[in-house]
Amino acid sequence: AALGLTWFIASLPCLAGNLDAITPIITMFFLLMYATINGACFAVAWLRSPGFRPTWQYFHWSSALLGLGLCLGLMFAIDWLMALVAVAFGGGIAWYVRTKRVSKDWGDAGAGFRFQVARDQLLALTERSTFHHAKNWRPQILVLCRVDGRFNPVKPELLALAGLLKKGQGLLMAHALIDADDGPRALVAEAATEVLRLHLHAESIQGFP
């Protein structure tokens, strides 16, 4: 599909005898590609991802942010209409990849950002803060569920009771009690966790299995 689209875009102006017709399109997509690379570098550098180790000794997250701003600025300075088309096209591709859940192996900067924010907020909840004040109290419930041979909770009403107690607030952690003597423990634990997650979703209970 990508090769066919590239051939279609390139063949029409070539057959028409006017290569200048595709110059704005190529320029916009090149600048959009460089802007995306700079944005990704800025995200992983700002999040301090341990797997990101640039070899350029003068690299800094501010340089990546500057490159992102320059690329976007050049796009709109050259042709604002084509820049909007390119940004919309790139956003459409990103939306397609996310909705179709295409298998990818390059990670997700958004997940790293959410993890960093959650970590910072948890560290901020120290005893010196106002978290333990009565007005700020939220229930924190740990549910230990014994499961059957198919990893279904033997007493699913415990999950429903925990959901009623916290009333959509607070923190709920549910764990399955399993006997993993007959199989690989990692696979059994993963299967039990997935079944427990499905039960929480079916009961509309927000929690962490």
10-residue mean pLDDT profile of the chain (209 residues): values are: 75 70 80 91 82 82 91 90 89 82 65 76 67 69 82 81 74 79 73 84 80
Neighbours of 114 (CB within 10 A): 11
Instruction: Report the pLDDT value the prediction gives residue 131, as an integer from 0 to 100.
Output: 58
Residue type, 60: H
- Which residues are registered as beta bridge partners of 142? 173
The model carries a pTM of 0.56
Instruction: Report the pLDDT value the prediction gives residue 44, as an integer from 0 to 100.
Output: 83
Instruction: Report the pLDDT value the prediction gives residue 106, as an integer from 0 to 100.
Output: 63
Per the CB < 8 A criterion, the answer to whether 167 and 148 are in contact is no
DSSP 147: B
**H runs (alpha helix) in the chain:** 2-16, 23-46, 61-78, 80-99, 109-124, 157-166, 185-202
Instruction: Report the pLDDT value the prediction gives residue 47, as an integer from 0 to 100.
Output: 77
